Structure 1
Amino acid sequence: MKQQFKGQWLLLTIAVLLMQGCGKNFLELKSNQQQKVPSTIADYRAILDNATGYINPVNNRSSHTLGIIGADEYEIPPAVYGTFPVGLTFDYQKNAYGWTERIYQGGEGGIVVPTDFDTGYQRILLANLVLEGLGNITPHLTETEEWNETRGAALFHRAWNYFCLLQLYAPVFNAATASNDLGVPLRLESDPTAKVLRASVEDCYELLIADLKSAINLLPDKDIVKFRPTKQAAWALLARVYLQMDDYGKAAEYASNCITVAGELLDYNKVAAQPYPFPIYGTENPEVIFVMTAYDALAYTGEYLAVPNDFYQHYENADLRKTLFFEQDRNGMIRYHGSYYGSSLLFTGLALDEVYLTRAESHVRLGNLAEALSDLNTLLRNRYKKEAFVNLTTQNQDQLLGRILMERKKELLLRGIRWEDLRRLNKNPKTATNIKRNIAGTEVELLSNSPRFIWPFPEEAINVGGYPQNPR
């Protein structure tokens, strides 16, 4: 399956994008005679089908590393914190874990250990390359469907990566200030040397929403290949985008569109507890809509990832997630093995459980408590032991919202979503969260109103692009 979707074509421009996402290293890259310049629809589709390849994987190493490290979902046990390696590959991860003033030191990134900034702009420039190439092709009637789907996929990938970058490197969306808040550079062409300024947060969101809406008109409803985007994936992402923007009416609308295509949830009563209980690559999981995984950063892999015991206790004994998501090692640490990718790689794609929770939250905020309860109960009915589950009933809006938000944290654990949830929820004092960590005996705290909920740009991006740095 994985080999089927590895792209077979590279050209100098693509290879350029692998180096430091607009940093200086790409200027030193030399041409390779084995590289082939893409010229057909199949060539461009192959670029986007490079799903899991080591060189520029399109469905791997998503821009979620800093968000996963910075959120309140896991901890590095004190016993192993002092053993964390040093060097450019690792220092920025340790800095992020402590939310320090300076994260990047300069020199991070590249093909082997890319930063979130690198991977996001690599894919954006690839998407632009595909869009430009397709624009020079007039498809034959028999090629129209393939041309449409390839263009739709490129638009989706560009929107996806801009959204991910905005959650890390730009202020949270605020309708009152979005037109003035600095977002990220909007690159709309494949030339990595083009000088582009930081656009406003409002302009960034307008572009990615326009891309997704255009993609919907081009993509198929579903696809047996879950490494490829579809209408359903675009609707799921739009629901996430509008939730981030506090537009609950549109979030509920697009979530409903997504669920209408296929709304089957996985019954956890039928899943066997094993080292990795969910289907490998997510392809046989009915909930998975679009496959994406995070970079396997050392800070949240192996012995360095432990789930806080007080959070683990939020899972009731009748909750099947308690055994399917976690195991306790011989030292008493709670380890996570519930990735929807079916391996140690963290799933950061799109899945129906998130969509149900998005619609439930949107409904409760709109005052539609019955609809919110229906969605929440539909999810939990497939998460609890059949004989133990009783439908939730409440007419208290705040109480129901609190339960839905807790279920988001429990259900969507370590998918890269928690950081963006924290940012949007911090806009309201009732749902704001201060995060505390004990690092080598010293307590550090990230306040809900801290500017450190916005990560700094890498040093190379600042030096080469001339961008204003985010205040810390």
Structure 2
Amino acid sequence: MKMRILLYILYLPFFLAGSACKKDWLEQKSDKGLSVPQTPADFQAILDNPNTMNRSYSYVGNSGTDNIYISDDVAGTLQEFELNLYLWKKDIPWNNESSSQWAFPYTVIECANIALDGINKLGQKDNAVNNIKGQALFYRAYAYYSTAQVFCLQYESQTAGTALGLPIRTQPDVNMLAQRSNLQEVYNLIISDLKQASSLLPGTTPYYTRPLKVSALAMLSRVYLNMQDYQNAKLYADSALTLKPTLIDFNDPSQVSNSMAFRFKANGIGNPEILFYAFKYTNNFDQAFLGQGIQASPELYSLYEDNDLRKTYFFGKSNNRLNFVGSYTGARPDFSGIGTNEVYLIRAEASARLNLLAQARTDLNKLLSLRYKTGTAPIITEDNQLALLSIILKERRKELPRTGNTRWEDLRRLNLDPNFAQTINRIYKGEQYSIEPNSPRYVLPIPNNEIRMSGITQNQR
């Protein structure tokens, strides 16, 4: 009990930054002394903290992708761990031997576990309580998935049972030090949590930061694509798009416009494509994406045709710099959630890999018709499976250049496919740096402070 009270004290500053319902709850508690959360409203308040539950997911994979470019002069202004990430060096000296990339997702997991433990002890089974439970399960799954993409090997069904996973924590007792599971156990938990969440979450919510049934279905499609289970990836993409098939027309100035500071609606409010709203925790490295240092790679930019409106709204040029400017957050941080655009691309890829080429073309053409200037979109007629897959993967890269760790995740999983595996090269101060397909450098080292405290096994790079 003492540890829970301490944990609640530690989280109190985060609660203060949250929604009106949290503020009301804290005001009600203020004259009763600090206590552990006990009621459904208490647990909902924990989950309604957007500064924890909607922004604590990894983005660091972006630093190792071919979507970005850093000039030599700017690279010299980065912290050592930031530059080492960019150059895929073996040693990543996390700042003060700790990293938000590990700590923040586990904060989400702890908050979710507190809510789940409290709800289960209450024994209530009404719709409101089921909704809270579904939210907690979704957040826990999202955090474990995000963390596994940078601190674990890419999932392969043949090796997942022996590959190192993550410490699995499903109870709120912070005194329990879990060792690393195997990777299959991590994915089993993610899938189980998301399937339960999809059965508990409602179809609508008055709060845009809360996950919904469609959020869980969409996330299941993403997870199964990552696992190369294309049958299930398509199944859950079908389910998600049946509930919410809406796409933005980039020709519609009410949805996307150069008159908006970040091209899209502020904080994602009113963006009909967003199925779960999340945004990246920002630091100096991440903010540099907005023109302070890191640029879009010329190779990425060259993929867009002049009539492709994504070229207009995703990028901006200034002083010979090629900046990322447009984000579905409609704000400074990058979008780290999931949208219908991604689900259409998941279904297109899964359909193509299942040799359902007509279905794949239909989804791809629908998306492209809304991304180009009216009447100029290419119509994809390709009937060769491998060639069509290549087109879909290129459009996936063009559509999602600043969505979470998408490009990093794609590089990792596509390196398992000889048709799409690639080596990435960079030149820094005249020296070439490379990362080969399936390199151990695609798995980041766990911060040293976590190794010391818990004794878990470190990744080998």
TM-score by length of 1: 0.88
| Aligned twin of 1:358 | 346
1:254-403 residue pairs with structure 2 within 5 A? 254-270=236-252, 271-274=256-259, 275-302=261-288, 303-329=292-318, 331-403=319-391
**Which structure shows the bigger proportion of residues in helix conformation?**
2
| Aligned twin of 1:27 | none
Match of 2:208 among 226, 249, 265: 226
| Aligned twin of 1:50 | 49
In the alignment, is the contact (CA less than 8 A) between 1:14 and 1:126 conserved in 2? no
Cα distance, 1:449 vs structure 2: 2.4
| Aligned twin of 2:188 | 206
Residues 1:308 and 1:412: Cα distance change in structure 2 (over 3 Å) = same
| Unpaired runs of at least 5, structure 2 | 14-29
Matching of residue 79 in structure 1 with residue 78 in structure 2? no
CA distance in structure 1 between the partners assigned to 2:160 and 2:422 by the alignment? 22
In the alignment, is the contact (CA less than 8 A) between 2:66 and 2:297 conserved in 1? no
CA distance in structure 1 between the partners assigned to 2:122 and 2:12 by the alignment? 26
Cα distance, 1:15 vs structure 2: 4.7
Cα distance, 1:332 vs structure 2: 1.2
CA distance in structure 1 between the partners assigned to 2:67 and 2:33 by the alignment? 44
Partner letter of residue 209 of structure 1?
I
Secondary structure at the counterpart of residue 166 of structure 2: strand
CA distance in structure 1 between the partners assigned to 2:55 and 2:382 by the alignment? 41
Secondary structure at the counterpart of residue 42 of structure 2: helix
Cα distance, 1:195 vs structure 2: 1.8
Cα distance, 1:305 vs structure 2: 2.0
Q: Percent identity?
A: 37
CA distance in structure 2 between the partners assigned to 1:18 and 1:118 by the alignment? 17
CA distance in structure 1 between the partners assigned to 2:238 and 2:392 by the alignment? 17
CA distance in structure 1 between the partners assigned to 2:332 and 2:419 by the alignment? 35
In the alignment, is the contact (CA less than 8 A) between 2:66 and 2:300 conserved in 1? no
In the alignment, is the contact (CA less than 8 A) between 2:56 and 2:105 conserved in 1? no
In the alignment, is the contact (CA less than 8 A) between 1:298 and 1:304 conserved in 2? no
| Aligned twin of 1:130 | 115
| Aligned twin of 2:26 | none
Offset from partner CA, 1:174-219 (integer Å, 9 cap, x none): 1111101111110111112212111011111011101111111110
Cα distance, 1:466 vs structure 2: 0.9
Matching of residue 446 in structure 1 with residue 431 in structure 2? no
The CA RMSD measured in Å over matched residues stands at 1.9
CA distance in structure 2 between the partners assigned to 1:14 and 1:334 by the alignment? 44
Residues 1:441 and 1:363: Cα distance change in structure 2 (over 3 Å) = same
Matching of residue 59 in structure 1 with residue 59 in structure 2? no
Partner letter of residue 94 of structure 1?
L
Residues 1:179 and 1:199: Cα distance change in structure 2 (over 3 Å) = same
Cα distance, 1:18 vs structure 2: 9.8
Cα distance, 1:51 vs structure 2: 0.9
Partner letter of residue 115 of structure 1?
S
Residues 1:254 and 1:245: Cα distance change in structure 2 (over 3 Å) = same
CA distance in structure 1 between the partners assigned to 2:281 and 2:428 by the alignment? 23
Residues 1:95 and 1:188: Cα distance change in structure 2 (over 3 Å) = same
In the alignment, is the contact (CA less than 8 A) between 2:75 and 2:83 conserved in 1? no
In the alignment, is the contact (CA less than 8 A) between 1:454 and 1:470 conserved in 2? yes
Offset from partner CA, 1:36-91 (integer Å, 9 cap, x none): 42111001001000013xxxx21113222x2121222111222322223xxxxx33
CA distance in structure 2 between the partners assigned to 1:16 and 1:189 by the alignment? 18
Matching of residue 146 in structure 1 with residue 128 in structure 2? yes
Offset from partner CA, 1:232-273 (integer Å, 9 cap, x none): 000110000000110001000100111111111000001322
CA distance in structure 2 between the partners assigned to 1:106 and 1:393 by the alignment? 50
CA distance in structure 2 between the partners assigned to 1:185 and 1:203 by the alignment? 10
| Aligned twin of 1:12 | 6
| Aligned twin of 1:435 | 424
Residues 1:298 and 1:367: Cα distance change in structure 2 (over 3 Å) = same
Cα distance, 1:16 vs structure 2: 4.8
CA distance in structure 2 between the partners assigned to 1:397 and 1:18 by the alignment? 53
CA distance in structure 2 between the partners assigned to 1:306 and 1:106 by the alignment? 23
| Unpaired runs of at least 5, structure 1 | 1-9, 20-31, 85-89
CA distance in structure 1 between the partners assigned to 2:35 and 2:271 by the alignment? 36
In the alignment, is the contact (CA less than 8 A) between 1:17 and 1:192 conserved in 2? no
TM-score by length of 2: 0.90
Cα distance, 1:310 vs structure 2: 2.3
CA distance in structure 1 between the partners assigned to 2:156 and 2:438 by the alignment? 14
CA distance in structure 1 between the partners assigned to 2:44 and 2:97 by the alignment? 30
CA distance in structure 2 between the partners assigned to 1:379 and 1:11 by the alignment? 49
In the alignment, is the contact (CA less than 8 A) between 1:18 and 1:122 conserved in 2? no
Cα distance, 1:17 vs structure 2: 7.1
